[in-house]
Amino acid sequence: MKNRLFRTIFMALTGSMSIPALAWAEEAVPKIDTGDTSFVLISAALVMLMTLPGLALFYGGLSRKKNVLSTIMYSFFAMVLISIQWALWGYSLSFGPDVNNLIGNLDWIGLRGVGLVPSDVYATTVPHQAFMVFQLMFAVITAALISGAIAERMRFPAFLAFLILWTTLIYDPVAHWVWGGGWLCDLGALDFAGGTVVHILSGVSGLVACIVIGKRKGYGTEPMIPHNLPFTVLGAALLWFGWFGFNAGSALSANGLAASAFVVTHLATASAAFSWVVAEWIRHGKPTVLGAASGAVAGLVAITPASGFVDPMASIIIGLVAGVVCYLAVSVLKAKLGYDDSLDAFGVHGIGGTWGALATGLFANPSVNELGQGLFYGNPNQVVIQIISIVASWAIAAVGTFVILKVVGTVIKLRASDEEQDAGLDITQHGEDAYTDFVSGSPFGDMKLTGASVQATGSMNPAKI
């Protein structure tokens, strides 16, 4: 009964589909599991929350006051643009029928044929569109993560051009390699929820982008201190929460594997927050709140590829190592090498993602998931495969980002001028202030209404004070 109703809806909605495809649907009678479907849809919404407001607040709090809106806007527009890109061609390139193990073809362009029956390859118990929109949220956050490296200096129009090109030319192919039936998939690389695809790609691309665009004006001489750490903590907590959708949701089914991924995600996160704070406590004498938030995110990143393959005790080790390694990356490595990764996209995502991909090859336990058998369970070959996937992701991210920025740079200016950086990107790129002055409504003094009927600031009756 339910099934027939469903099929009628499906036929109505896909009237444009070719007859053979419908005939196939008649034969195979794909079965939708309601539990799985609700789980995947809720997980997709959780992953959405990671970008907005999670990442936007996390990065926004780390930026300086004059750049908080522009920092938030990078994430906001990753959501806006990549969502549309994904429906138009991104999903087809990533997950569409394979071409030479390298990329999807254009059969599913404009979501043609991506309907309400399950796909016969991906998440076969949920509507194909549920799987598609879950993956959409991954594409969005990956692009948004890069903005942490170039915040406070990349011009908005250049960022938009970069977003679209980067997702199309780098994210979509690599998502295909790992999840869409491409060569890394065939090789047997393990990446449960996106350690290579999401975190290595965004982190390494961020590193290259921050070097190509150059340091912020005043980097190393002026203090560049987070302007609102409570924002950052709020953002980190929302990331932590949303990440359950990211990792457990990647089981694509409401089953034991999802529960396992949920548990190891949580444990690795707590462990990394702990080890980051302890490391800085020893080195600087104080346990910082920013360290706790940063460590948590480092743990989330590191457990991502491993989340469907490792057991709870392994996840604690993965987290403990991630906290210390990422802490050293942002405090020692960055200072030594002298690049200006404004909000540490590379230090946390590039380094944490690389460690996680490697750790998956070490700790994958076949009793958690028979698809993964790591070094410690007698399969040294898995480490080699993981290293190949790490090297391949680093390479395409680095080369691709470099080329894209050089090309975009010939058409659009990438970097805000020194004067624009002094005034802040909020005013110069967006014409807004995040925090208005309490007397005049503007830090630039007395503000005059120039246009429409805007009420003056303050609702109190001045005569009574």
- Binding of other proteins at residue 15 (CB under 8 A)? no
Q: For the chain, what is the radius of gyration of the CA atoms?
A: 23
CA distance 137 to 132: 9
Q: Nearer Cβ to other proteins, position 370 or 438?
A: 438
Residue 383 as a binder of other proteins (CB under 8 A): the answer is no
Binding mask 321-360 for other proteins (x = CB under 8 A): ------x--xxx--x--------x----------------
Q: Which residues pair with 166 in a beta bridge?
A: none
**Dist CA 68 CA 70 (whole Å):** 6
Residues numbered 64 to 103 that lie near other proteins (CB under 8 A) are none
Contact segment (CB under 8 A) with other proteins among 2-10, 93-101, 218-226, 360-368 equals 218-226
Long-range residue pairs from 179-185, CB within 8 A, at least 24 positions apart, any chain: 179/94, 179/95, 180/94, 180/95, 180/96, 180/98, 180/104, 181/98, 181/101, 181/121, 182/98, 182/101, 182/102, 182/103, 183/101, 183/102, 184/388, 184/389, 184/392
CA distance 281 to 2: 59
Please tell me what DSSP assigns to residue 341: -
Q: Quick check: 226 binds other proteins (CB under 8 A)?
A: yes
Between 2 and 286, name the residue whose CB sits nearer to other proteins.
286
Closest by Cα among 183, 94, 96 to 140: 94
99 pairs with which residues across the strands? 103
- Select the residue interacting with other proteins from 31, 88, 283, 432 (CB under 8 A): 283
Closest contact distance (angstroms) between CB of 344 and other proteins is 6
CB of residue 355 to other proteins, shortest distance in Å: 17
Q: In the complex, what is the shortest distance from the CB of residue 225 to other proteins, in angstroms, rounded to a whole number?
A: 6
Cα separation of 127 and 344, whole Å?
Answer: 37
Residues 262-281 that bind other proteins (CB under 8 A): 280
Q: Which is nearer to other proteins, 102 or 289 (CB)?
A: 289
Give the shortest CB-62-to-other proteins separation in angstroms: 9
Among 288, 379, 440, 442, binds other proteins (CB under 8 A): 288
Taking CB under 8 A as the criterion, the residue among 15, 19, 27, 286 binding other proteins is 286
Tokens representing 71?
A: 């920092």
127 contributes a contact to other proteins by CB under 8 A: no
CA distances from 79 to 39, 45, 76, 178, 257 (A): 22, 13, 5, 23, 29
Query: What minimum distance in Å lies between the beta carbon of 224 and other proteins?
Result: 9
Q: Between 191 and 280, name the residue whose CB sits nearer to other proteins.
A: 280
Instruction: Indicate whether 291 belongs to the interface with other proteins (CB under 8 A).
Output: yes
Interaction of residue 372 with other proteins, rule CB under 8 A: no
31 binds other proteins per the rule CB under 8 A? no
Backbone angles phi, psi at 59, to 5 degrees: -70, -40
Residues 6+ apart with CB under 8 A from 389: 178, 184, 187, 189, 191, 196, 357
Give me the residues that bind other proteins (CB under 8 A), please: 223, 225-226, 280, 283-284, 286, 288, 290-291, 294, 327, 330-332, 335, 344
